[in-house]
Amino acid sequence: NIVSKLIIIWLSSMSFELQFRLGPTLQGKHVRVQTNYPAPGEHFDRHTFRALDWHNPTGREDDSDKFCSLDLQIAGSYQYNFGHGREEKSGGGYVVVDPVLRAGADNHHVHLDCITIQTYLSKCLGHLDDWPDRLRVAKESGYNMIHFTPLQTLGKSRSCYSLADQLSLNPEFSPPGKNYTWTDVGELVQKLKKEWNMICITDVVYNHTAANSPWIKEHPECGYNLVNSPHLRPAWVLDRAIWHMTCNMADAKYAANGLPAQVQNEGHLNAIRDVLWGQVFPKIKLWEFFQVRIESAVEEFRDLLVDGENQKKTGGKQGLKIIQDPKFRRFGNEVDMDSALETFVPHSHSTQAILEACNRLWGRLEEINKEQYQQMIHHQEKAANCIVGNVVYERLADHGPKLGPVTRKDPIVPRYFTFPFEETSLEDDLKMMDQPDKACHFLAHNGWVMGDDPLRNFAEPGSNVYIRRELICWGDSVKLRYGDKPDDCPYLWAHMQKYTEITAKHFAGVRLDNCHSTPLHVAEFMLDVARVAMPSLYVVAELFTGSEDLDNVFVNKLGITSLIREAMSAGDSHEEGRLVYRYGGEPVGAFVQPSLRPLVPSIAHAMFLDVTHDNECPIQLRSAYDSLPSSAIVSMACCCSGSTRGYDEMVPHQISVVKEERFYPKWNPDAKASSPGEVNLKTGIIAGKLALNKMHQDLASKGFNQVYVDQVDEDVVAVTRHCPSTHQSVVAVCRTAFHNPKHHQYRKEVPPMFIPGKIDEVVLEARVIDRQAGTYKKCEKYINGMPEYTVEIKEHIQLKDSGVVKHAGVTSKGSSEFVQEIVFERLTPGSVIAFRVSLDPRAQELVGVIRHHLIQFSPKYKLGIYIAQRHLTLADMNMLLFRCDSEEQEEGGGCYNIPSWTSFKYGGLQGLMSVMADIRPKNDLGHPVCDNLRQGDWMIDYVSNRLVSRGGALGEVGKWLKGMFHYLKHIPRYLIPCYFDAILVGAYTTALDTTFNQMSSFVQNGSTFVKLLALGSVQMCGVGSFPALPPLSLALPGVPYRLNKDTGKKEQCCVSLAAGLPHFSSGIFRCWGRDTFIALRGLMLVTGRHLEARNIILAFAGTLRHGLIPNLLGEGIGARYNCRDAVWWWLQCIQDYCSLVPEGTAILHSPVVRMYPHDDSQPHFSFTQPLCDVIHEAMTRHMQGIDFRERNAGPNIDMHMKDEGFNVVAKVNRYTGFVYGGNRFNCGTWMDKMGESDKARNKGMPATPRDGSAVEMVGLSKSVVRWLVELHKKGLFPHSSMKIHRDGKELKVSYEDWNHKIQVNFEKNFYVSHDEKDPDEKHPDLVHKRGIYKDSHGASSPWCDYQLRPNFCIAMVVAPELFTVERAWKALEIAEKKLLGPLGMKTLDPDDMVYCGVYDNALDNDNYNVARGFNYHQGPEWLWPIGYFLRAKLYFAKKLGKETYDQTVYLVKSILSQHYVHLERSSWKGLPELTNENGQNCPFSCESQAWSISTVLEVLHDM
């Protein structure tokens, strides 16, 4: 997933910082981020990109916090892209920055959601002097934005959107004797802005111009004509033929065919088809434009054959290729003669053979011509259907214009092309097609194509829209042809640039008319021009793409601020409410989002209109009574809302943008209802709209940005706007009237409503009523509405004074939610009532207390929770944050379970936070967790009681939470998920701060990734109900104690380290010697938990027996000493402790309580000796040779192992110094899978015995011996040699000698040389890979030595001196190629015959190699070895020079980015034990494994 993350920081309501962060596949690479967002002081140029600088706050380790940023202050659309290596662009995207709109004398900010807009058809405003009186209607109706249709000179059709001259102001705006200019318009716009607080926008129309535009006649190259677009010639021929069909119908020439001028029935429609197929199509023979003239083509072919031109020129590719004539002449298509010569090869040069080849070509060309004929027939069928469909709509359909008889003024269908010449015959028309001076004036009209791809230009070559008559044509407008760049049509680009500059100079915003069919590159260019003149340009668009994904293409590229959304698209009240929910804001009770958060894709901001000037009249489609409630529903959406002039006055017809020539009425407060030229608050629903607009603006400006839509019944919609800071709400209950109540039977009773909180007032109640003012009669001069309707309205009244509400009873749901039951009396169809609701006083007070204490709302939040947490230890943090279900059960509890869902992963805060991290960003208030919180206090009580019951410092935190939750329980239930989450976020973030402050500086100053890994220390290290570790010496300082809750006696309570969650977290299976000491360095020493690490080291030291420490600890008493490697990991940890901890060597003299002073001792705790002596004993016992049988050997301790497996051997080879041991029936290293399947007959057989000398054990022993030598030289270790008995004699073996033997023998015995005659190679026949290090030496099955596994990497890290640098590097490269997976290392070479990468412990079949998970270490990808692999890479890369090291650092970062992503997304907040092949999830793995987290953290520490 090669995508960068976008993080947004909300600095203020008008300022944002955008951060680019690296996704997983980009970490560790040289990534370049470029953007065309201008640098401070620079001007925007879409094509000028600049590189952003990277910042890494931690300055090291990894790239998890690395970012580059932009301070976003300039409105517009900006592009970014990123690349790495040789790739200039690996990906990219767009960021849209909204404009900041201002109005008023004080230049105040107008929030986008405050906008209430009204559209005016400019041509209906009259002279400019009259505009203020007509526009005052918008002001008095409460609108704060006016949208003017284009103010330019209109074309012949008088359509508002067919402009004759884009540069000149419509002269109709100037009264006689005056000549108003754009300056005058600009002054009026400024006056409206400053004095009326009204912002003005207007349309820009880029994709067409009026057919009678003077400039298009002078510059026909600006349109699609037959000279610059010859592909349109066939469509033009068809268009002329249909025009002549119109003339013939008008002249009654088809009467004999049963086709009159007046089309009235199905028979006439069939007659149209008959004329088309019988007379029109056969006459014009459109197929000929796509056919080959066969005679001439075959003649040319014959000449070439005769001349001997038959060499292969197509590379042997056969198949005849036809070349379309670029001029689209009849029979103009040509044959590609090279393909013909290749395809139709004569078998000889004879005349007969040539003739046969020509005949074959002739036959094929006839087939091709026939195919073209059939294709054209198919196009004509479509064209005939479209023509008939158009006739049906325009002349027969009830909802159509019913044009009447076909005439030259009203043709059978609109013409697709201009024809600026005298009418002649069709034959004479067609001759003009070949006369360029005339053909250039046949310009294609514009229109739209239903269901077409909006990104495709339907007038360009390759489209058949015009010939298939699929265009819904605007016969008054010519489609403009821009080409790809200004040089392609200089006049058009320059003309439209001037048009744009004029518009942007005077208006605050533009509406992109017909945006979906405006070429994107043109709109981009023009909007760039506009933003130079008006930097904070508001851009609105209508898009009919049918796809939100496609909408986003336009929004992103053009920087569209708001997309027009139409309430008229709703067929019923339910759909209308759904639109509010979709476009109207956040849900009520939404979660508090952090200021720094990922920028996620979202739908475009909406301009939600109750009606647009293109919509059909709502009164005709619904009813007059619906005007008010539908407007109220729209105005309750948290977005821009608005309407079109005429809707509020209840004009009962569509105000046509083409045909309407009357003027809008003026404002007159004293006008009579019967006066058609004047309006006031009593007209239509203007008074209601004023109240709604004021409420809409008030809600948006005061932060009521949360919305809830309730479908009360089929006609009643209740919309709630909620303010998350004050928790005030406004609830508008709207009873729609999609059907006229006079003719439709509505329910008499409206269901009661239950409104949570205290109703402060009725903001408004209004309904449409009849009045005695005459009936509607269309005025000839003014656009008048229906005088018989008005609005009855009351505003800001008390509930008791309402005429709509019958009864309002106060009730309560439980102890915390007070609701008022509203019973309606006169909520008639067409009514609206809006309540202002507050929390009840008690809840209001408690919310204030909560907000005062929380991080998200108050800078003082830390005081309470910090004080509560300040005494917590890291062991306490384990309880506060984590504890999986089995750990909780050990305490007598369990993780919280939601019956309808599942249990949390942890009993602590992390269990909740992991789930909330998914719920919070999506505001998923329907999630089962949120339902559970709303339904009862169970989860709330669980969180606090769990801690209170612990007592001590944890109990204090529990009491703080309990106190906060006490407030929480007494606020409305719908708010509880939000505030519960906020309380937990405050507690959790404080806990993290407290945790990291107790850790090492490496963690405190580390990256987010480091901190996430360091949390693994808290996750794995805890204290259970029963002591997991054997007791430490009473003389040892710093040992924690507690009172046993059962006995009341004092007992030690040292932290122990769980191997993995959830399987190895509690009871005797919690502590394992090997796992503990592989994980201890990373989880405890690197994180700074030195005292706890010391205690664990000394506790295990006390269990030493037979020279080994236990594999399974079992509190020391039930320990099993069946692994050979745990003791070496323990010794390595002591070495690490001494080197990493200040004055760490003091541990060597710490007292150790020996449970087993002798091998056969019973556990007792009276014998104490210093750790250095315990170390020396372990070393001596190995040198002497360990050979014993496990106690209680048999099925009681291992039900699968064979008898021989209980024999434990661990010795040192006297010649090589290598530690060796084991046998083929046991597995003494970490690869310890024992066969369990009777069916497969692998029961009792180790899958990976690794007997002999395992490579990592040799490395570990070398590391320890070398360290002891160094310690002795410094006087820090009292022993220089070991006394052993051999052959009846006492011998001394020095540590120095042991160290030397391993050093000189290692590569001889472990390196697999490229030299096939290597004298040190004992089994050359078993070698299958060279340049690697063996996995073992001296195995009972010699071929096992030669298996490629990742274990040699461990030896490289702990004892790098054993390896030749170049050999080590090559071996690591092979391991990288063969073993490296996305998260872990394959445990076996995929080339090995027993490799299987999928671990399934439940599978029991007859396959020896996989049954019952036998392949546990035979392929699945374990995570912890990857840490050692990467550390080895870093170590040896440094030896090879800076270039290699830098490359390796990038590799390491890239690999670890996958772990970071997993850690971030994991609900366990951990790294798994293993994965199946290629990183696939393994369901049998621990979800979080101590050593997996530890070794990755160690890599970052090394960096």
Query: Rg for the chain (alpha carbons), in Å?
Result: 42
> Rounded to whole angstroms, how far apart are CA atoms 634 and 737?
15
Q: Are 818 and 973 in contact (CB under 8 A)?
A: no
User: What are 837's strand-pairing partners?
Assistant: 729, 759
CA-closest candidate to residue 1030, choices 1119, 1108, 1130: 1119
Other CB atoms within a 10 A radius of the CB of residue 426 amount to 16
CA-closest candidate to residue 1425, choices 1350, 1316, 1340: 1350
Q: Which of 63, 98, 203, 513 is catalytic?
A: 513
Q: Are strands 472-479 and 163-169 parallel, antiparallel or unpaired?
A: unpaired
Q: Is 807 a catalytic residue?
A: no
Length of the chain: 1503
Q: Edge-to-edge, what's the strand order for the sheet holding 1474-1475?
A: 1385-1386, 1421-1422, 1474-1475
Residue 78, SS3 per DSSP: strand
Other CB atoms within a 10 A radius of the CB of residue 1465 amount to 11
Q: Which of 130, 336, 338, 614 is catalytic?
A: 614
User: What are 70's strand-pairing partners?
Assistant: 18
Q: Are 1324 and 1316 in contact (CB under 8 A)?
A: yes
Q: Which of 506, 516, 1279, 1337 is catalytic?
A: 516
Which residues are CB-contacts of 880 (< 8 A; sequence separation ≥ 6)? Answer: 869, 872, 908, 909, 947, 954, 957, 991
Q: Are 1093 and 1077 in contact (CB under 8 A)?
A: no
- First-to-final CA distance of the chain: 25
Q: Are 1383 and 1479 in contact (CB under 8 A)?
A: yes
- Give all strands (DSSP E) within 569-689, no chain letters: 586-587, 596-598, 605-609, 640-644, 666-667, 678-679
Q: At what angle do helices 351-391 and 294-306 cross, to 10 degrees?
A: 150
Q: Is 513 a catalytic residue?
A: yes
CA-closest candidate to residue 419, choices 396, 445, 399: 445
Which residues are CB-contacts of 1380 (< 8 A; sequence separation ≥ 6)? Answer: 1386, 1426, 1429, 1455
Tokens representing 954?
């944890």
| Amino acid, res. 1200 | H
Q: Are 611 and 618 in contact (CB under 8 A)?
A: yes
Report which secondary-structure segment, H or E, holds 1052. strand 1050-1052
> Rounded to whole angstroms, how far apart are CA atoms 1272 and 562?
77
Tokens representing 301?
């072919």
Angle at 252 between CA 251 and CA 254, to 5 degrees: 125
Which residues are CB-contacts of 1014 (< 8 A; sequence separation ≥ 6)? Answer: 996, 999, 1003, 1006, 1087, 1497
Tokens representing 475?
């016969």
Tokens representing 1092?
């706890």
Report which secondary-structure segment, H or E, holds 70. strand 67-72
Residue 1407 — φ and ψ, nearest 5°? -85, 110
Q: Is 516 a catalytic residue?
A: yes
Other CB atoms within a 10 A radius of the CB of residue 1223 amount to 17
> Rounded to whole angstroms, how far apart are CA atoms 1228 and 1233?
10
Angle at 782 between CA 540 and CA 141, to 5 degrees: 50
Tokens representing 1077?
């000491």
3-state helix, strand, coil in the chain (%, to 5): 40, 20, 40
Q: Is the dihedral of CA 962, 968, 974, 979 positive or negative?
A: negative
- Enzyme catalytic residues: 513, 516, 614
